[in-house]
Chains A and B, each alone.
Chain A
């Protein structure tokens, strides 16, 4: 009995050391991304006079863009979102709303607000053969077109939208989003600067909950009073301002958020459009674009710009958030398993050697390891097999390092973009950096773990998301 206890103690000590080493490695990557993101954003800000002077003139030269907005049961936010898209500061654009068989009053609200009239539009059915119920235009806004179709899912709706789009570039946006007035002008820039290689470009997504929205614009940025939303604000800052900016610096972008991204239509059509039935259709498309480029021995660039902002409503209840995270994790698992050939594949450059392994080992399997390590270390300490100091070391790496990273994201936001002008807001975000790492992250890991299990069990449906609209 004594010998087996000693053995177990040694096993626990070694395992705890390995788990700590894993989290140390993950944190080292975070640190690299943080430093990269900071310098990348500083460089961007220093080049801002040039970029701004370009934007002033660019308004004459910008290529026309089709905004494609798929909508399914978005009655609470659809009209406000459409106003946001229609009043963007951009020389030539058309807005194509695709009503994906909504069962609520989404279509009626749009019909009444924009006084829609039936019209005839050209449709290229190369990407989707779903039945179109009607096409409409608005006498109030000649560049607004509404497509009413049978339910086919988000990917199918965007494909239909692409089929109706007239221009060479399309911008995919969520119908529960608000774009900053110059967001499109900024996000298109990489596609103009390097048209030969850049096929997609994305911007930052931020939670809109709590802010004042008027006539399709974020009139005043405010923090929500809901703690769950505050935690998500910190989380989004971390994900976009140093996660994506950092990966972009090394040309390792693997995802352009479905909520806001501009694509070269020709490239997307070449790979067959969005994959229908996919849970992570935005990431899947990017991976397919990358795969296609490698297959054809072409250079490809996916750009991410942190400045243009798309404001979106984030879940304000635990139930909705759990569903969302579950779906995201299933989408991530589906895409990573589908493109497993990229793992450590040098032909994919940074994506194959760094970004994909990071997503695979940290984003996909991180929740498993995290929850396992809590149980394992807790049990080991309770049984007296692990020293308290080793537990401290683990918590230092797991919790404290995480808090520092969230702190870093909030501070980068403050140093560069200054979206929350009140000192109180800054302090609130710094305080919620603690809760994001201690409490929320563990809960999120549980949801993600459940999502992975549900993916392995073959669960495919999206789940119903409840929307509150832009006014809290």
Chain B
């Protein structure tokens, strides 16, 4: 009925009018009915699939988890006791294996990566990275990020420039957890070019890179001219409590960007080195309220006794941000 055209449809509905309006109604009806029918079939298909999966998932996950534990306890060096599963359970097993990989570190982890590779999952993921559909590439990148294998570095490096932003960012994030030459400059350059506004990912990637090697962030910061990126870098250095960043943060207290100056003041408080007190005190009358607020918080957290004696003046600060910062910091103290 839907495919016979608007006139036939109108006739079928007992409407003998064939004005342009009636035809428009019939055409819209055909479009809507077709969409709803497609949606209905899709929903039925998904419902059946879910029902089937739900029925079969019970107990399967536990069995697979047990199989993985057995594998780890029975000479994994020689793959003595490989988990067994049916072909149709292949991807379900992969999911369980990835769950385990996310939570396991040290030697057991390397055995599980070996297992992942043994069952050809790694090969499939690397192949998926070339998929035409971005969502397939994205899923493969995220899986490879969990697996954290050096074998994926060349492919992931290429995906940094993927035409889909999500895939590109996920690849950068995956690479940031791996170790290979030149990674810092490559990732950070691409990141600042591709998604400077994605602060969340930016912070995460910087934190991944900065763990244990905060000097790499410091080097990058020395060459960075974008104040918003610089502010993020300083904030990460603060979060990492990187003592080696102290001179740089002190220098950035006088930055022309208020954001950078405020983040530097905050970072100095987090780093917790009393040497910073002298420099922070100089900025207590900074023209930006945001900077003054961070200076107040940092000075209180560093335990500056002279500053504590002069709190009365800060309580009269014209900015509510500074007064609130003082109140909150005093309460926390």
To the question of whether A and B form a pair in one complex, the answer is: yes
Known A166-B328, A389-B14; contact A21-B28, beta-carbon cutoff 8 A: no
Task: Determine how close the nearest CB of chain A comes to the CB of B2; give it in whole angstroms.
Answer: 12
Partner of B201, one of A54, A393, A397, A407: A54
What chain B residues lie within 8 Å of A411 (beta carbons)?
Answer: 36, 39-40, 42-43
Is A404 interfacial (CB 8 A cutoff)?
yes
Complex interface residues of chain A between 375 and 414 (CB less than 8 A to chain B): 387, 389-390, 392-393, 396-397, 400-401, 404-405, 407-408, 411-412, 414
Is B90 interfacial (CB 8 A cutoff)?
no
- Are the C-beta atoms of B204 and A61 separated by less than 8 Å? yes
Task: Determine how close the nearest CB of chain A comes to the CB of B177; give it in whole angstroms.
Answer: 11
Is A227 interfacial (CB 8 A cutoff)?
no
Q: How far apart are the CA atoms of A124 and B320 in the complex, in Å?
A: 7
Q: How far apart are the CA atoms of A53 and B141 in the complex, in Å?
A: 11
- Are the C-beta atoms of A396 and B39 separated by less than 8 Å? no
- Are the C-beta atoms of B39 and A412 separated by less than 8 Å? yes
Known A53-B142, A122-B328, A404-B36; contact A396-B17, beta-carbon cutoff 8 A: no
Complex interface residues of chain B between 123 and 139 (CB less than 8 A to chain A): 134-135, 138-139
Partner of A392, one of B13, B28, B29, B199: B13
Nearest residue in A to B134 (C-beta to C-beta)? Answer: A46
Q: Mark the stretch among B19-27, B210-218, B263-271 that contacts chain A.
A: B19-27
- Are the C-beta atoms of A415 and B46 separated by less than 8 Å? yes
- Are the C-beta atoms of B324 and A166 separated by less than 8 Å? yes
Which of B25, B29, B33, B145 lies at the interface centre, i.e. has the most chain A CB atoms within 10 A of its CB?
A: B25
What chain B residues lie within 8 Å of A53 (beta carbons)?
Answer: 142, 145, 170
B 301-333 binary contact with A (CB < 8 Å = 1; else 0): 000000000000000000010011001100000
- Are the C-beta atoms of A17 and B14 separated by less than 8 Å? no
Is B200 interfacial (CB 8 A cutoff)?
yes
- Are the C-beta atoms of A31 and B31 separated by less than 8 Å? yes
Partner of B200, one of A17, A34, A193: A193
What chain B residues lie within 8 Å of A28 (beta carbons)?
Answer: 28
What chain A residues lie within 8 Å of B320 (beta carbons)?
Answer: 124, 126
- Are the C-beta atoms of A194 and B197 separated by less than 8 Å? yes
- Are the C-beta atoms of A49 and B36 separated by less than 8 Å? no
Is A27 interfacial (CB 8 A cutoff)?
yes
Task: Determine how close the nearest CB of chain A comes to the CB of B187; give it in whole angstroms.
Answer: 16
- Are the C-beta atoms of B25 and A393 separated by less than 8 Å? yes
Is B282 interfacial (CB 8 A cutoff)?
no
Which of A28, A54, A195, A418 lies at the interface centre, i.e. has the most chain B CB atoms within 10 A of its CB?
A: A54
Which of A196, A390, A393 lies at the interface centre, i.e. has the most chain B CB atoms within 10 A of its CB?
A: A393
Q: How far apart are the CA atoms of A217 and B135 in the complex, in Å?
A: 32
Is B186 interfacial (CB 8 A cutoff)?
no
What chain B residues lie within 8 Å of A401 (beta carbons)?
Answer: 28-29, 32
Known A31-B31, A389-B14, A414-B47; contact A47-B166, beta-carbon cutoff 8 A: yes
Partner of B323, one of A17, A122, A192, A400: A122
Known A47-B135, A49-B142, A61-B204; contact A24-B25, beta-carbon cutoff 8 A: yes
Q: How far apart are the CA atoms of A54 and B169 in the complex, in Å?
A: 11
Known A28-B28, A49-B142, A400-B29; contact A389-B17, beta-carbon cutoff 8 A: yes
Q: How far apart are the CA atoms of A393 and B17 in the complex, in Å?
A: 9
Partner of A408, one of B14, B21, B39, B134: B39
Is A348 interfacial (CB 8 A cutoff)?
no
What chain A residues lie within 8 Å of B40 (beta carbons)?
Answer: 411
Is B278 interfacial (CB 8 A cutoff)?
no
Known A24-B24, A408-B39, A411-B39; contact A122-B324, beta-carbon cutoff 8 A: yes
Is A58 interfacial (CB 8 A cutoff)?
yes
Complex interface residues of chain A between 55 and 92 (CB less than 8 A to chain B): 57-58, 61
Is B194 interfacial (CB 8 A cutoff)?
no
- Are the C-beta atoms of B327 and A122 separated by less than 8 Å? yes
Task: Determine how close the nearest CB of chain B comes to the CB of A268; give it in whole angstroms.
Answer: 14
Task: Determine how close the nearest CB of chain B comes to the CB of A193; give it in whole angstroms.
Answer: 6
Task: Determine how close the nearest CB of chain B comes to the CB of A400; give it in whole angstroms.
Answer: 7
Is A20 interfacial (CB 8 A cutoff)?
yes
- Are the C-beta atoms of A38 and B13 separated by less than 8 Å? no
Task: Determine how close the nearest CB of chain A comes to the CB of B14; give it in whole angstroms.
Answer: 7
Partner of A418, one of B22, B25, B50, B203: B50
- Are the C-beta atoms of A407 and B36 separated by less than 8 Å? yes
Is A294 interfacial (CB 8 A cutoff)?
no
Q: How far apart are the CA atoms of A415 and B42 in the complex, in Å?
A: 7
Q: How far apart are the CA atoms of A195 and B139 in the complex, in Å?
A: 26
Partner of A20, one of B25, B29, B135: B25
- Are the C-beta atoms of A414 and B43 separated by less than 8 Å? yes
Q: How far apart are the CA atoms of A271 and B200 in the complex, in Å?
A: 27
What chain B residues lie within 8 Å of A38 (beta carbons)?
Answer: 39
What chain A residues lie within 8 Å of B80 (beta carbons)?
Answer: none
Q: How far apart are the CA atoms of A444 and B16 in the complex, in Å?
A: 32
- Are the C-beta atoms of B50 and A392 separated by less than 8 Å? no
Task: Determine how close the nearest CB of chain B comes to the CB of A408; give it in whole angstroms.
Answer: 6
Complex interface residues of chain A between 168 and 207 (CB less than 8 A to chain B): 189, 192-196
- Are the C-beta atoms of B43 and A193 separated by less than 8 Å? no
Is A215 interfacial (CB 8 A cutoff)?
no
Is A1 interfacial (CB 8 A cutoff)?
no
- Are the C-beta atoms of B199 and A192 separated by less than 8 Å? yes
Known A27-B28, A57-B204, A392-B14; contact A34-B138, beta-carbon cutoff 8 A: no
Q: How far apart are the CA atoms of A418 and B54 in the complex, in Å?
A: 13
Known A38-B39, A415-B43, A423-B47; contact A50-B166, beta-carbon cutoff 8 A: yes
- Are the C-beta atoms of B197 and A196 separated by less than 8 Å? yes
- Are the C-beta atoms of A47 and B197 separated by less than 8 Å? no
What chain A residues lie within 8 Å of B107 (beta carbons)?
Answer: none
Is A113 interfacial (CB 8 A cutoff)?
no
Nearest residue in A to B143 (C-beta to C-beta)? Answer: A49
Complex interface residues of chain B between 142 and 177 (CB less than 8 A to chain A): 142, 145, 166, 169-170
Is A35 interfacial (CB 8 A cutoff)?
yes
Nearest residue in A to B321 (C-beta to C-beta)? Answer: A124
Nearest residue in B to A167 (C-beta to C-beta)? Answer: B328
Task: Determine how close the nearest CB of chain B comes to the CB of A401; give it in whole angstroms.
Answer: 7
Which of A58, A124, A415, A418 lies at the interface centre, i.e. has the most chain B CB atoms within 10 A of its CB?
A: A415
Nearest residue in A to B228 (C-beta to C-beta)? Answer: A196
- Are the C-beta atoms of A34 and B22 separated by less than 8 Å? no
Nearest residue in A to B167 (C-beta to C-beta)? Answer: A50
Nearest residue in A to B40 (C-beta to C-beta)? Answer: A411
What chain B residues lie within 8 Å of A196 (beta carbons)?
Answer: 197
Q: How far apart are the CA atoms of A412 and B39 in the complex, in Å?
A: 8
B 231-245 binary contact with A (CB < 8 Å = 1; else 0): 000000000000000
What chain B residues lie within 8 Å of A194 (beta carbons)?
Answer: 197
Partner of B142, one of A17, A50, A387, A390: A50
Known A49-B138, A404-B32; contact A396-B197, beta-carbon cutoff 8 A: no
Task: Determine how close the nearest CB of chain B comes to the CB of A245; give it in whole angstroms.
Answer: 15
Is B4 interfacial (CB 8 A cutoff)?
no
| 24 pairs from A and B in contact (CB 8 Å cutoff) | A24-B28, A38-B39, A46-B135, A46-B138, A47-B135, A50-B170, A58-B200, A61-B204, A122-B323, A122-B327, A122-B328, A126-B320, A166-B324, A189-B200, A387-B17, A393-B17, A396-B13, A401-B32, A404-B36, A411-B36, A411-B42, A411-B43, A415-B43, A426-B47
Q: Which 10 A-B pairs have the closest CB atoms?
A: A46-B135, A122-B327, A411-B39, A192-B200, A124-B320, A404-B32, A414-B43, A389-B15, A49-B142, A49-B139
